[in-house]
Amino acid sequence: DVKVTQSSRYLVKRTGEKVFLECVQDMDHENMFWYRQDPGLGLRLIYFSYDVKMKEKGDIPEGYSVSREKKERFSLILESASTNQTSMYLCASRGDRDEQYFGPGTRLTVT
Amino acid sequence: QKEVEQNSGPLSVPEGAIASLNCTYSDRGSQSFFWYRQYSGKSPELIMSIYSNGDKEDGRFTAQLNKASQYVSLLIRDSQPSDSATYLCAGGPNSGGSNYKLTFGKGTLLTVNP
């Protein structure tokens, strides 16, 4: 079974803090993704990566950065958290037939 | 702009009925389609994938793809209360590109009433 794990299920941070969200997959997948999900807006792609140290902007990259130093790990960084970044953050990896497998999600609250 | 549109719902069906979820997509280059189930507060879970025209059955679930009409559907037979969830439709282009990504619909909320 594919397993995608995320470092935290719930996180509360203060405005202006630097926030790290980590994602690990155990299937040697090349492509990994970070989404945020908000009511009424659906899943929105923040960044994705197709190889170590390679990254591409998604639809809403502003205020975020990413890091992929190892194939199995993809990190999302909020450089200076703001209240409008309160959301559910979902990591996914791409399987052999283009399907995506999601981690359990991190519900981030910025106060 | 590639789009995937789903009935916004909510869709309510009685237990034992067939639930029909529909999805249309704008990108004719889309080749791969997926249905995800998402329970409230949880992450999306892949339940069906379909790549060619026609029907694909897996237990109580049947996915249908019509590329000419740019239409994908999911049928759930003998619906159970445990099927109550939001269902997401997603489509993607031909595989092979390093920048491959899926386009997701906003989801349809299904409620199965006992």
A84, A103 contact by CB (below 8 A): no
CA proximity to A64, closest of A77, A75, A51, A45:
A77
List chain A pLDDT tens, one digit each, 111 residues: 779 999 999 999 999 999 999 999 999 999 999 999 999 899 999 999 999 999 999 999 999 999 999 999 999 999 999 999 999 999 999 998 999 999 999 999 999
User: Cβ–Cβ of A99/B46 closer than 8 Å?
Assistant: yes
How distant is the Cα of A94 from the closest Cα of chain B, in angstroms?
9
User: Cβ–Cβ of B106/A50 closer than 8 Å?
Assistant: no
The total of other beta-carbon atoms located within 10 Å of residue B32's CB is 20
**In the structure encoding, which two tokens stand for residue B2, read together?**
């590639």
Q: Which of residues 9-28 of B touch A (CB under 8 A)?
A: none
Query: What residues in A contact B90, CB-CB < 8 Å?
Result: 100
Q: What is the pLDDT of residues B28-63, one digit of tens each?
A: 888 899 999 999 999 999 999 999 999 999 999 999
